[in-house]
């Protein structure tokens, strides 16, 4: 991976968890956070301007409407051209079922990790970054 990958973080408020994610992303010169938004609609607006390579999405509120918002964000990011690679950070007790159609894990395109697992986050960043660096920008986008 020789080029820098841009990263959007969505769903985390300012605080210790966001700083932990930022630190993990910035632990390599190959990844740079270009935007952060707590609300999915703001994250999507940023993505439509910045076209990030990767989005790290965390559930911003623990209720069904937040899951729907998170799914819509994932779907809309994957519909960009080229599609944004997704890292979906799931809560510890959250079921492993897909958020909706087209949101299933897909190597190099959509990865799921558990909150609090920085090594899994790192592995997902590297996998998506390598895929995008090879110019295979994931033709299977939604």
The total of structural domains in the chain comes to 1
Q: Are 103 and 76 in contact (CB under 8 A)?
A: no
- 116 lies in a domain? yes
Query: What is the pTM (predicted TM-score) of this model?
Result: 0.89
Q: Give the sign of the dihedral formed by CA 125, CA 140, CA 134, CA 47.
A: negative
**Is 138's pLDDT higher than 70?**
no
Alpha carbons 15 and 129: distance in angstroms, whole number: 26
- 139 lies in a domain? no
Structure tokens at 51: 């076209």
Model pLDDT for residues 42-95, shown as the tens digit of each residue: 999 999 999 999 999 998 677 778 888 999 999 999 999 999 999 999 888 887
- 141 lies in a domain? no
Domain hosting residue 73, numbered range: 5-133
**Is 14's pLDDT higher than 90?**
yes
Domain with residue 80: its CATH number is 3.40.50.2300
- 138 lies in a domain? no
């Amino acid at each position: 991976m020789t080029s820098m990958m841009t990263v959007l973080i969505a769903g985390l408020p300012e605080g210790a968890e966001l700083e932990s994610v930022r630190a993990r992303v910035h632990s390599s010169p190959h990844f740079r956070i270009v935007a952060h938004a707590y609300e999915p609609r703001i994250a999507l607006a940023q993505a439509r301007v910045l076209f990030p390579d990767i989005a790290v999405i965390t559930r911003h509120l623990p209720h069904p409407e937040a899951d729907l918002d998170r799914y819509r964000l994932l779907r809309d990011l994957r519909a960009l051209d080229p599609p944004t690679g997704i890292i979906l950070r799931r809560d510890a007790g959250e079921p492993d079922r897909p958020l909706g159609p087209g949101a299933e894990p897909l190597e190099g395109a959509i990865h799921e990790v558990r909150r609090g697992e920085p090594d899994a986050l790192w592995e997902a960043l590297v996998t998506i970054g390598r895929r995008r660096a090879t110019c295979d920008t994931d033709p299977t986008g939604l």
